[in-house]
Amino acid sequence: MPRPGAEGDLAISKTQVFDFFCQFKNGREIISKEKGHFLHQTLCTPKNIKAVKDAIEAERRASIADIMFETGLSYWVAQTILTADLKLSKKAAR
């Protein structure tokens, strides 16, 4: 039987949970989007797959960090789209 709640790419990180815990312990009452806080897109949707594909077509030698910056996706989502959806892998030049 599946457990309720977010798992995989929908779940927040352990570090974020500890951070929220400390903030609530110190008096914070609600979780809200703060100024300068960047919310990562965390789904491998067709829109995100197209964004990664467009970024790769624009610059074939782009790193995952470049793709993350251009698309706003997390490292894990960008890497998953590259390897699982677009079937791309790193090739060493010799």
Q: Does 91 fall in a domain?
A: no
Say what the pLDDT of residue 31 is: 63
Q: Does 1 fall in a domain?
A: no
For the chain, what is the domain count? 1
Say what the pLDDT of residue 58 is: 94
Give tens-digit pLDDT for 68-79.
Answer: 889 888 888 888
Rounded to whole angstroms, the Cα distance separating 83 from 57 reads 15
Cα torsion angle, 88, 52, 9, 45, sign:
negative
Sites in the chain below the pLDDT cut of 70:
1-10, 30-43, 94
Say what the pLDDT of residue 27 is: 78
Rounded to whole angstroms, the Cα distance separating 30 from 24 reads 8
Q: Which amino acid is at 68?
A: M
Q: Does 90 fall in a domain?
A: no
Whole domain around residue 27: which residue ranges? Answer: 8-85
Say what the pLDDT of residue 41 is: 44
Say what the pLDDT of residue 8 is: 66
Q: Does 2 fall in a domain?
A: no
Q: Which amino acid is at 70?
A: E
Q: CB burial class (10 A; 0-12, 13-18, 19+) of residue 48? A: buried
Say what the pLDDT of residue 22 is: 82
Distance spanning both ends of the chain, measured CA to CA: 49
